[in-house]
Amino acid sequence: MWQARTIIHNGQAIPFAEARIHPLALGVAFGIAVFEGLRAYRHPGGGFSVFRLEEHLDRLAQGMKVLRLADPPSKDTLRQALLEVIRLNEPDEDAYLRLQVQIEGLGMMATTGPVGWIAAALPRERSAKFATGLAAQVSSWTRLPDNAMPPRVKASANYHASRLATLQAKADGYDSAILLTQRGKVSEAAAACLFLVRDGVLATPSRGSDILESITRDTVMVLAREAGIPVEEREVDRTELYVADEIFLCGTGQELVAVTSVDRLPVGDGAPGAVTRRLQAAYEGVVRGTSDAHSEWRTPV
Ligand code: PMP
């Protein structure tokens, strides 16, 4: 598999291993950083495209605004750097991409700059559970509330709850964790949003359920509606996970992956369901460009 060779840091392409930041920079000391994880897919006919680059740039800009970062890098700067870093790394397979913006200055907690940024391309294989599905645990860790650690912002510091829930799930013999909101409603998985199928309707926790406003979640809703599958964004109860016909997680990293049990109760017949498999195939078509649909979602590298 190819290796990451080059990273772009504040506009400069440097060897991947040589990127540096001071340990007392606010980005490290207080985790004042926002990021995006994106994917570049290799097309069967050759060439790569980045999936939904503009939506990722928009979400990153929203995060920089909420965190009140001073003089944040522009979308143009980040877009150009991301496309450039893919070319410089010469991947021969799909690449996982990272844009990250952090405070690189030292100072008090309310310091707002100077702000630095990186663009990186890394190898990343598809989830080992892509075909078989995951065993999930409803975590005793809860999702962050908007008025403390806004989950809508993809901030590095937001990942403690996800990480603790994942470590707990693995220690208990599961693959993944599902987190509830502080009010006990289903929110999302550790780094992926969640859909369930009940009575032929696809449902997903609403934007008010302390989710990250996932770009894959949006893609799934568009593809499902186009396939004639009714979609609801609403509050989801924990016990709906136990009686659902199908459940799957979705995110840039995980793509679409079935959940085949929750708290050891089988979901449906305990195998990835028909709706999940249909949407996995539709997703694969649009990310890889094997279907003509939604060419506006693919930025050629
Ligand atoms: N929730 C969290 C907490 C995440 O980290 C991710 C991955 N970015 C997602 C959901 C899925 O978001 P997206 O589809 O935009 O990758």
Domain span at residue 141 reads: 134-288
Among protein residues, the one whose CA lies closest to atom 12 of ligand 1 = 214
pLDDT, residue 291, reads 87
Report the distance separating Cα 171 and Cα 107, nearest Å.
38
Per-residue confidence at 258, pLDDT binned at 50, 70, 90?
A: very high
107 and 162 share one domain: no
Q: Does the structure show a pLDDT above 90 at 3?
A: yes
Domain end, chosen from 88, 123, 158, is at 123
**Count of domains for the chain:** 2
CA of 65 to the centre of ligand 1 (A): 19
What does the DSSP assignment read for 162-209? Answer: HHHHHHHHHHTT-SEEEEEPTTSBEEEESSSEEEEEETTEEEEE-TTS
pLDDT one-digit tens code per residue, 29-68? 999 999 999 999 999 988 999 999 999 999 999 999 999 9
Report the distance separating Cα 236 and Cα 249, nearest Å.
14
pLDDT, residue 45, reads 86
Q: What are phi and psi of 185, to 5 degrees?
A: -95, 160
Helices (H), the chain: 26-29, 53-66, 75-89, 159-171, 215-226, 238-243, 274-288
Quick one: DSSP state of residue 158?
Answer: G
141 and 227 share one domain: yes
Q: Count Cβ atoms within 10 A of the Cβ of residue 71 and give its class: 0-12 exposed, 13-18 middle, 19 or more buried.
A: exposed
Q: Which of the listed residues 38, 154, 176, 194 should we mutate to test ligand 1's pocket, taking the one with most ligand atoms within 8 A of CB?
A: 154
**CATH number for the domain including 181?**
3.20.10.10
Check: CB of residue 82 under 8 Å from CB of residue 119: yes
155 and 37 share one domain: no
CA of 248 to the centre of ligand 1 (A): 14
Classify the complex by whether its ipTM is higher than 0.85, answering yes or no: yes
Q: Which of 65, 75, 154, 185 is catalytic?
A: 154
pLDDT one-digit tens code per residue, 180-209? 999 999 999 999 999 999 999 999 999 999
50 and 104 share one domain: yes
Quick one: DSSP state of residue 45?
Answer: T
**What is the dihedral angle through the alpha carbons of 176, 148, 237, 55, rounded to the nearest 10 degrees?**
-70
Q: Does the annotation count 154 as an active-site position?
A: yes
Rounded to the nearest integer, the mean pLDDT of the chain is: 97
Is 247 within the bounds of a domain?
Answer: yes
Report the distance separating Cα 173 and Cα 263, nearest Å.
10
CA of 195 to the centre of ligand 1 (A): 13
Q: Which of the listed residues 143, 144, 252, 257 should we mutate to test ligand 1's pocket, taking the one with most ligand atoms within 8 A of CB?
A: 252
- Reduced to 3 states (helix: H, G, I; strand: E, B; else coil), residue 7 is strand
189 CA closest ligand 1 atom index: 1
Residues with CB under 6 A from ligand 1: 37, 162, 188, 191-193, 212, 214-217, 251-253
Is 142 within the bounds of a domain?
Answer: yes
- Reduced to 3 states (helix: H, G, I; strand: E, B; else coil), residue 28 is helix
